[in-house]
Amino acid sequence: MKKLFVSVALATLALGAAAQQKLVPAQSEIAFTSKQMGVPVDGKFKKFDAQVAFDPKKPETAKIAFTVDLASVSFGSSETESEVAKPDWFNTKAFPQATFQSTTVKATGPGKYEVAGKLTIKGASQNIVVPVALAQAGGTTTATGGFVLKRLDFRIGDGDWKDTSMVANEVNVKLKFALTGVAPL
């Protein structure tokens, strides 16, 4: 019985050490820049959540996932926002969320990591690698990173919008996640 108690206690401690960090939404952002007829167009998502279990001393054990409410897209124009909700773009009725799930995390230098995983938008999945830098101030760790998404790989902009001379295929995505509960770097 004593061995069972010790095993349960050790397992509980191990789980506690790998406890999930908490996202601070007010200090976090998922933004992007696309080009329409060569002109940069900035947007962001107002609703998203992240589930992070990360130990800076053991990045290979990290589990990182996030979900994005696609209907929360903001361009500062209600006309554009209602257009991208339609089936040719995000098709938010059929596909309300985009998701990311990490497969590997590896250190690339002090406070720098590569997060590889699967991004799914509109039912299409692609493997991506996101370089991430961490900075700590007070009790908050800020993870910043970015990657280039090819919108046609995810069927974003079907029909007449497949023409990349009107809307570029490449979309620069920038992530900033403020987290509490991350151990010192």
What percent of the chain lies above the pLDDT cut of 70?
Answer: 90
Please compute, for residue 40, the number of CA atoms within 13 A of its CA located in the half-sphere on the CB side. 7
Domain ranges of the chain: 20-180
What percent of the chain lies above the pLDDT cut of 90?
Answer: 87
144 CB-near residues (< 8 Å, 6+ apart): 132, 133, 135, 174, 175, 176
The predicted-structure confidence for 91-119, as pLDDT tens digits, reads as follows 999 999 999 999 999 999 999 999 999 99
Asked whether residue 69 carries a pLDDT value surpassing 70, the answer given is yes
56 CB-near residues (< 8 Å, 6+ apart): 134, 182, 183, 184, 185
Q: What is the pTM of this model?
A: 0.86
The predicted-structure confidence for 104-157, as pLDDT tens digits, reads as follows 999 999 999 999 999 999 999 999 999 999 999 999 999 999 999 999 999 999
Which SS3 state, helix, strand or coil, does residue 8 take?
helix
Task: For domain 20-180, give the fold.
Answer: Lipocalin (2.40.128)
Give the strand pairing for 140-150 and 22-23: unpaired
Asked whether residue 4 carries a pLDDT value surpassing 90, the answer given is no
Nearest to 182 by CA among 14, 20, 29, 67: 20
The predicted-structure confidence for 8-39, as pLDDT tens digits, reads as follows 333 333 333 445 799 999 999 999 999 999 99
Percentage helix, strand, coil for the chain under 3-state DSSP, each rounded to 5: 20, 50, 30
| Gyration radius from the chain CA atoms | 19
Average pLDDT over residues 59-82: 96
Nearest to 114 by CA among 148, 151, 146, 154: 146
- Rounded to the nearest integer, the mean pLDDT of the chain is 90
